[in-house]
Amino acid sequence: MYMSDPRVHTDRTVFGPETGAATLLAEIGTLGWSRFRQAEPLHLSPHLHDGFYEICLIVDGEVEWSAGENDYVLRGGDLFVTRPGELHQGLDKAMQPCVLYWLLLAPCPIEGRWLGLQADQYLPLADSLGSLPFHKWRANDSIEPAFRNLLREHVEASAARPDESIARLAAQVALQALIIGLIRSAENLVERQPTAATPEIAGSQIENIKDNVRATLGDSRAVGKVLGLSPLTFERLNRHFTTVVGLSIADFRARERVRAAKALLRQNGVSITAIAADLGFSSSQHFATTFRRLTGLTPSAYRTGASD
């Protein structure tokens, strides 16, 4: 079911209990696609899904989510998968601008049928799902088409296509392809997982860079100064840092500045203008733009919410 809500700048196509549009398969709790045209505060509060894996594919944009004790930055092409009953949320409960698919998938039963398969066929899939490297990894090329095909079958079936049994069969095939793609892309992650350091830069150097960035948040020249911590050119250093940390040095600094700003905003005696200056932003407007891009809230709105 397609919905567009101009109040929250979001386009959505969702099948499941929240919309009353039934899914084609019993294994699917909810299936959806969304485009968030701007950040939405309080959209992604802590939540869990009893009895369902949640599988999300970020198609475009960048979001910050957490699961368990870990925080993740996800970009286009990243998967985010949580176990049944596992608590997860958006950073500061916000959803940043993005396009994504998501699916609530019921685990394999001990016996019977699942995705139209007999137990001896689906139990190997069940074992692989149970050993996935939760929570984040890169999708392979098969996953977005599988999501797209699965959603298309639901949309066409909801438009009263005469033979719904064909739609269910096609949905089974698309969901099988999605799950196999999920497992294979996770296998690639294990094969290609970067170590905590490369031959050119040790893990201790990465930590030194992070510590240096945190200690110089108010210095506009801080990114250039990290060159003194390594014999590499900035381009090579930044590439290795991004491989290990998942963020460029500049992006890591931006997030650390916003993290520090949040702590200061909870202190009502410090003005927003002073916070912007202390953290090296060129202006209060630059600070507000960066803060809202990463949190979905203006600094003043964050301060108001923190004091409630």
Report the 3 state secondary structure along the chain.
CEEEECCCCEEEEEEECCCCECCCCCCEEEEEEEEECCCECCCCCCECCCCCEEEEEEEEEEEEEEECCEEEEEECCEEEEECCCCCEEEHHHCECCEEEEEEEECCCCCCCEECCEEHHHHHHHHHHHHCCCCCEEECCCCHHHHHHHHHHHHHHHHCCCCCHHHHHHHHHHHHHHHHHHHHHHHHHHHHHCCCCCECCECHHHHHHHHHHHHHCCCCCCHHHHHHHHCCCCHHHHHHHHHHHHCCCHHHHHHHHHHHHHHHHHCCCCCCHHHHHHHCCCCCHHHHHHHHHHHHCCCHHHHHHHHHC
Q: State the residue range of the domain holding 215.
A: 203-307
155 within a domain of the structure (yes/no) = yes
- Are 160 and 267 in the same domain? no
- We report the CATH number of the domain holding residue 283 as 1.10.10.60
pTM comes to 0.75
- Are 82 and 210 in the same domain? no
198 within a domain of the structure (yes/no) = no
- Are 162 and 243 in the same domain? no
- Are 166 and 261 in the same domain? no
- Are 207 and 184 in the same domain? no
Residue type, 189: L
Q: What is the pLDDT of residue 225?
A: 61
- Are 58 and 131 in the same domain? yes
Mean pLDDT (10-residue bins), the chain, 308 residues: 50 90 94 88 86 95 87 91 93 84 90 84 85 88 97 89 83 95 83 47 75 84 60 77 80 89 88 93 92 84 74
Establish how many alpha carbons lie within 13 A of residue 111's alpha carbon, considering only the half-sphere containing its beta carbon. Answer: 0
Name the DSSP letter for residue 94: -
Of the residues 172, 192, 212, which one is the last residue of a structural domain?
Answer: 192
Of the residues 141, 171, 192, which one is the last residue of a structural domain?
Answer: 192
- Are 169 and 210 in the same domain? no
Cα(30)–Cα(50) distance, integer angstroms? 13
141 within a domain of the structure (yes/no) = yes
165 within a domain of the structure (yes/no) = yes
Q: What is the pLDDT of residue 26?
A: 92
Residue 104 makes CB contacts below 8 A (sequence gap 6+) with 16, 28, 29, 30, 31, 49, 52, 53, 54
Q: What is the pLDDT of residue 44?
A: 86
Task: Provide the domain count of the chain.
Answer: 2
